[in-house]
Structure 1
């Protein structure tokens, strides 16, 4: 099939397309990063191999582009993106700060942790923001995302593929999780990242201060992402597992979703999704924009 008619790994009838049309998934991505930073080896691998502190927004854009490519691009393009990522990971290693052991970044346990926290975050945040998904659709999404797991080098048979399996996986991995120095530094960086000068006009850039509306708006988003973690994960960060925190987070994420829905379509629909919608329409599929 040529790219003009190739609907990619998932296609317009998938739960994946239904879920990923939601702009609120940007916040879900932030939640997943907070989650991932609680795994000592995973966060050590990032800290020792990534220049994210020097190019935070560039790294975020590259990650977002990778996810969009796997979801919306023609099959060959999605598979090529996965191949490039596997080659990159295969060259990287890190040292476990606790044991001094050197380990590979592409260890299945680490890849699985990143994959599960990412897809679970997408689902959890979208549903808590108000997207209507049945339990069957949730399990279908997890099953569909085995394709994404395979792209990064995981054996799909080893990856949780239902909500129940994800819950069991979290129970299994929880004893390994804790807040390390790398994790704490990552959490602080995610919460108070550098804001590009062009984003914040409240004070002269030469002062090095970014305390205007942009900073406060981002702090609200970051606080919501952190509050959307499971209570037990929040406790690892020194937070509280109160039910009131969950209620506040739900109200906040619902409000953010409503605000995003009011944005012009050109800001809500990524170029990658728009191209996929056009291919789907050409193939005779009716898809909500």
Structure 2
């Protein structure tokens, strides 16, 4: 069920085509981007990225007006998942085709934020924010919850890998190591604030997601860990307080168990009746 929700009803066929089609790739086997994007920590990192990205008023206005994330959240997740999979693992031709489609969509998305400023989704500056926030969130999630965390050089190489995709999408001079990524995020800080649209998105993601009641507890663990990954300043803007003892003693350990379970459940050919044992 987890894989179907994220990848869509044809997810396994799409995954087979992405991985099995012959041809050169943007990223060779063993590259850090393949390690990070293939790990279950991406679930937590993805929600954290959405929360962080929402803090740029123009980026959030474009999402609120054009993305359809409320009306079709699973469809949006499936499209994002497919884009990440194709650009990370697919042939170079398929990766470029996926980028071209996204650039075409971005070119058409224009409007005016509720505060009055105009936005254009193809604006390299806005694309740079979305890229930096996403890269930081995926990196932090993998560092905390990944099965095989990378060393400092590995995470620098991950940032460099993501820069390849970012440039293809239209980002100008994306950061290529972790220190540069931190500087880029800091440079955006004066532009960031929590708008009513950002708070509404946070409520949707954290309080009222479109999920059956039976899976709400697991999603609650995921969401709590997505919040715990946010930088303190971002949590402050979104009014999401930190409770250190609760997070350190219960939230993060539960997140590690959840990612282990998701990792097991999404493994090809895994049977549903044998979940992994709880950590001793």
**TM-score, normalised to structure 2's length?**
0.82
1:9-41 CA distance string (max 9 Å, x none): 101021111222212212211110011011111
| Residues 250-259 or 135-144, more deviating | 250-259
What's the offset of the Cα at 1:59? 0.8
Instruction: Kindly report which structure 2 residues correspond to 1:1-289, keeping only aligned pairs within 5 A, or say none.
Output: 4-98=21-115, 100-130=116-146, 131-155=148-172, 158-191=173-206, 192-195=208-211, 200=212, 212-241=213-242, 243-244=244-245, 247-248=248-249, 249-263=251-265, 265-266=267-268
RMSD over aligned Cα, in angstroms? 2.0
Structure number with higher relative contact order (C-alpha < 8 Å, ≥ 6 residues apart): 1
| Residues 135-144 or 23-32, more deviating | 23-32
What's the offset of the Cα at 1:67? 0.7
Cα distance in 2 between the residues matched to 1:261 and 1:60: 18
**Residue segments in structure 2 that go unaligned for 5+ positions in a row:** 1-19, 271-280
Give structure 1 regions of 4+ aligned residues with deviation exceeding 6 angstroms.
Answer: none
Cα distance in 2 between the residues matched to 1:116 and 1:142: 9
What's the offset of the Cα at 1:264? 5.9
Cα distance in 2 between the residues matched to 1:240 and 1:97: 27
Cα distance in 1 between the residues matched to 2:111 and 2:44: 28
The count of corresponding residues between Structure 1 and Structure 2 is 248
Cα distance in 2 between the residues matched to 1:151 and 1:254: 33
Cα distance in 1 between the residues matched to 2:247 and 2:230: 9
| Residues 33-42 or 168-177, more deviating | 168-177
SS in 2 for 1:103: strand
Say if 2:58 and 2:117, in contact at 8 Å, map to a contact too.
no
Say if 1:94 and 1:105, in contact at 8 Å, map to a contact too.
no
Cα distance in 1 between the residues matched to 2:92 and 2:266: 29
**TM-score, normalised to structure 1's length?**
0.80
